[in-house]
Structure 1
Amino acid sequence: MTQKTASGSTRRSEGSRRAILEAALSLVGEVGYERLTIEGIAARAKVGKQTIYRWWPSKAAVLLDAFTAKADAGEFESSLPDTGDLAADLKRGLQATVDEFNDPHFQAPYRALAVAAASDAVAAEQFISRLLEPGNKVYVDRLRSAQEAGDIAAGADLRVAVDLLLGPFTHRWLMRTGELSYEFVDTLVHMVVNGLRHGA
């Protein structure tokens, strides 16, 4: 009897957790981060507010877990292809990111997390470790492979190279200074790869 009760409790807890994560994602798309509240998430998920606070310290923490749920489950690619053509491989990765960043379901929570990270040191630490660093590593690994193959300068700083590649991309998207398109990706990759090949 004890075992059955524990199993039922676990299922209910997992069901509540999924409902909370889904509620956070849907609500942030409807009301934005500033108006997102724990009370609102609890009402949408049909759970008590104390249930959320038992698992998460803030709305930013809830949203981060909700946003990274698919990535944590391994549903996103964890590496770039290595076809031997560095520019083509980088373009393929960034083109997929263009599609993601132009998807309204992606935009709302990611922008909200960026806002939270800008004003909350704890949220920033989590945002960097769970989203930015894994994403950056994908590009560092591919650039290292190209460096070992002699396709880019041996002395190139790969972390700075990734900043050169992803910085303008992210800035354009966050600040809405221009359209994120495949054409923009082509230009960006061409400039960065040429610089790396010439030891810039």
Structure 2
Amino acid sequence: MEQADLAEPKPRLGRKRDHTRDPEILEATLDVLAETGYDGMTIDMVAARAKAGKATLYRRWSSKPELVLDAVACMKSSEIDLEALPDTGTLRGDLIALIKPPNIRDAERKLRVMAGIVSMIARSPELAAAAQEALVEPRAAANRIVFRRAVDRGEIPDSVDIEQLCTIGPALVAYRALMLGKPVNREFLIGNIDHVILPAAGVRPA
């Protein structure tokens, strides 16, 4: 037997996966989710939106739930720099300073995505955790710092439930946008601060 026959066969190399288009595909997934919801979304819709072949998606994600989980976990947002939050000297000033047009648009998109995945969240603890981390926690983290700062300077009592305060604003925004179908604008958000959040925190109106 010749030496060549004794040599181990070379492994066959599969097609190398190209991840360069992943961000575009995940953004397209979020767009379709926001428009159709999870149950109405199909891989074909995402492929068409991303201008990619369906086979490209299936080589990267084996199922629709896997694709949605990745998209939500990687959801881009207007980043809030927790190290450089506004410090105006008052709770009202800090909360209003956090209201910026990019943040409002980002919040509206997050709400549409959240509404789109509600039907799946109950069946997928992994998706629920990803949604909490990507859609809820960034803003809540900023609010916690602002409220704790107000406690430290004696503006609000230290007995206040900060976690509950962090949920009031998002709940009002979600109800207005999803249930009433009304726009979320600066005037609405400031009204929430003055008439709901500050009174709940124990701050008397000026």
- TM-score, normalised via structure 1 length: 0.72
Contact 1:29 1:108 in 2 (8 A): yes
Instruction: State the alpha-carbon separation in 1 of the partners of residues 170 and 36 from structure 2.
Output: 28
What pairs with 1:9-88 in structure 2 (closer than 5 Å)?
A: 9=16, 13-28=18-33, 31-42=36-47, 44-48=51-55, 49-54=57-62, 57-65=65-73, 68=75, 70-71=76-77, 76-79=79-82, 80-88=85-93
Q: How far off its partner does 1:77 sit?
A: 1.7
Q: How far off its partner does 1:31 sit?
A: 4.6
Moved over 3 A (4+): 25-33, 54-57, 94-102, 105-111, 113-116, 118-121
Instruction: State the alpha-carbon separation in 2 of the partners of residues 22 and 165 from structure 1.
Output: 26
Instruction: State the alpha-carbon separation in 2 of the partners of residues 195 and 106 from structure 1.
Output: 25
1:155 to 151, 154, 159: 159
Larger radius of gyration: 2
Contact 2:176 2:183 in 1 (8 A): yes
Q: Which runs of no fewer than 5 residues in structure 2 stay unpaired?
A: 1-12
Q: Which residue of 2 is the match for residue 181 of structure 1?
A: 185
Q: Which runs of no fewer than 5 residues in structure 1 stay unpaired?
A: none
Which amino acid counterpart does residue 88 of structure 2 have in structure 1? T
Q: How far off its partner does 1:64 sit?
A: 0.8
Q: How far off its partner does 1:154 sit?
A: 1.7
What pairs with 1:111-150 in structure 2 (closer than 5 Å)?
A: 111-117=115-121, 120-150=124-154
Cα distance change on mapping 1:55 and 1:78 into 2, 3 Å: farther
Question: In the TM superposition, what whole-angstrom CA distance separates every residue of 1:8-27 from its partner, at most 9, and x where no partner exists?
Answer: x5xx6221323422432344
Q: How far off its partner does 1:115 sit?
A: 4.8
Contact 1:21 1:62 in 2 (8 A): yes
Instruction: State the alpha-carbon separation in 2 of the partners of residues 167 and 58 from structure 1.
Output: 28
Q: How far off its partner does 1:161 sit?
A: 1.3
Instruction: State the alpha-carbon separation in 2 of the partners of residues 30 and 157 from structure 1.
Output: 36
- TM-score, normalised via structure 2 length: 0.70
Contact 1:38 1:58 in 2 (8 A): no
More helix by share: 1
**Over aligned residues, Cα RMSD in angstroms?**
3.3
Cα distance change on mapping 1:156 and 1:29 into 2, 3 Å: closer
Which amino acid counterpart does residue 178 of structure 2 have in structure 1? L
Q: How far off its partner does 1:93 sit?
A: 2.1
Cα distance change on mapping 1:21 and 1:189 into 2, 3 Å: same
2:113 to 94, 99, 109: 109
Cα distance change on mapping 1:171 and 1:185 into 2, 3 Å: same
- Give me the identity figure in percent: 21
Which amino acid counterpart does residue 66 of structure 2 have in structure 1? S
Q: How far off its partner does 1:56 sit?
A: 7.6
Which amino acid counterpart does residue 106 of structure 2 have in structure 1? E
Which amino acid counterpart does residue 53 of structure 2 have in structure 1? K
